[in-house]
Amino acid sequence: MPRYFLEVSYKGTAYSGFQIQANAGSVQEEIEKAFAVFFRKEVVMTGASRTDTGVHARQNYFHFDFEGTLGGEEVYRLNAILPTDICVKGIFRVPEGAHCRFDAQSREYRYYIYAKKDPFLTDRAYFYPYPLDWVDLQQAASRLTEFSDFTSFSKRNTQVNHFRCTVLESNWVREKGSCFYQIRANRFLRGMVRGLTGTMLMVGRGQLTGAAFEEILEGKDPTKVNFNVPAKGLFLERVRYPEHFQLGS
């Protein structure tokens, strides 16, 4: 049976995460419901990246099997059914056996922060009106590409076999009146980006030295990490796949 990738974006404010779960609304549930309404049959989805409650995505993927040809018309019809905070961006035929989670080469996240009150950012960024030392922030971020064991930055009660991640890019970017932390890696652990962001903000405010930040990295102790930045500032920006998948983005 043909396999397809479904590219989606969503505002996660109203959802208890990406993946379907009992007794809580999710992005996957809404998409599977829309498919059931349009195609009048159940279509089972597999997600590429699990995002937590309140986290947003500019790009995420599902894969599913479907007998038939799908394209632009189905994208239009599904978007007419879906809530306004979820969008189907494309449906792509992929090689047989392609897996949206295991075949992903990297994922990129951004955490957005703004320093001046802005009513248009309240549910999409973290209001943080404090001066930050930009040099210290960038130095902390750059060190992450030299580490591979991120045990310290994984929340407990997570079901993973190991805590090794290859960080390909890690840097802070300034924009007018705001900034964001950008990180790209082959995989991420539960709470990892928020933990890194919150702890580096402590470095930027002078509450933690660069040396102390490295000690936390090497110490493999999550109790030393600040996971307390809100979910609303976090976006899954991009999931990258091999070129021969021809996803068009």
Q: What is the pLDDT of residue 21?
A: 77
Q: Any idea which residues carry the catalytic annotation?
A: 52
Alpha-carbon span 21 to 1, nearest angstrom: 27
On whether residue 119 sits in a domain, the answer given is: yes
Segment 232-238 shows an average pLDDT of 97
Segment 54-78 shows an average pLDDT of 93
Q: What is the pLDDT of residue 247?
A: 87
Which tens digit of pLDDT belongs to each residue from 183-197? Answer: 999 999 999 999 999
CATH number, position 62: 3.30.70.580
Residue 22 confidence (pLDDT) above 80:
no
Q: Check residue 164 and report its DSSP letter.
A: B
* 79 shares its domain with 136: no
* 28 shares its domain with 80: yes
Q: Are 217 and 147 in contact (CB under 8 A)?
A: yes
Share of the chain above pLDDT 70, in %: 99
Residue 249 confidence (pLDDT) above 70:
no
* 185 shares its domain with 84: no
Give the global pTM. 0.94
Positions of E strands within the chain? 3-10, 46-47, 56-65, 86-94, 106-114, 126-127, 167-175, 178-185, 234-240
* 8 shares its domain with 95: yes
Which tens digit of pLDDT belongs to each residue from 128-186? Answer: 999 999 999 999 999 999 999 999 999 877 767 898 999 999 999 998 889 999 999 99
Segment 43-58 shows an average pLDDT of 92
Q: What residues are paired with 60 via a beta bridge?
A: 8
Segment 17-43 shows an average pLDDT of 89
Distances in whole angstroms, Cα of residue 247 to Cα of each of 6, 57, 240: 9, 17, 9
Task: Name every residue whose Cβ is closer than 8 Å to that of residue 146 and which is 6 or more positions away in sequence.
Answer: none
Q: What is the pLDDT of residue 246?
A: 81
Handedness of CA 66, 68, 74, 77 (dihedral sign): negative
Dihedral (Cα; 228, 229, 231, 232), 10-degree rounding:
150
Q: What is the pLDDT of residue 130?
A: 95
Provide the domain count of the chain: 2
Q: Residue 190 has which token pair?
A: 């539960």
Residue 104 confidence (pLDDT) above 90:
yes
**In one letter, which amino acid is 28?**
Q
On whether residue 249 sits in a domain, the answer given is: no
Q: What is the pLDDT of residue 106?
A: 97
On whether residue 113 sits in a domain, the answer given is: yes
* 221 shares its domain with 115: yes
Segment 37-57 shows an average pLDDT of 92
Domain range for 71: 3-103
* 68 shares its domain with 116: no
Q: Are 169 and 181 in contact (CB under 8 A)?
A: no
Distances in whole angstroms, Cα of residue 215 to Cα of each of 75, 119, 140, 207: 49, 38, 12, 14
Alpha-carbon span 196 to 217, nearest angstrom: 10
Alpha-carbon span 111 to 123, nearest angstrom: 13
- pLDDT classification of 68: cutoffs 50, 70, 90: confident
Alpha-carbon span 88 to 28, nearest angstrom: 12
Q: What is the pLDDT of residue 150?
A: 95
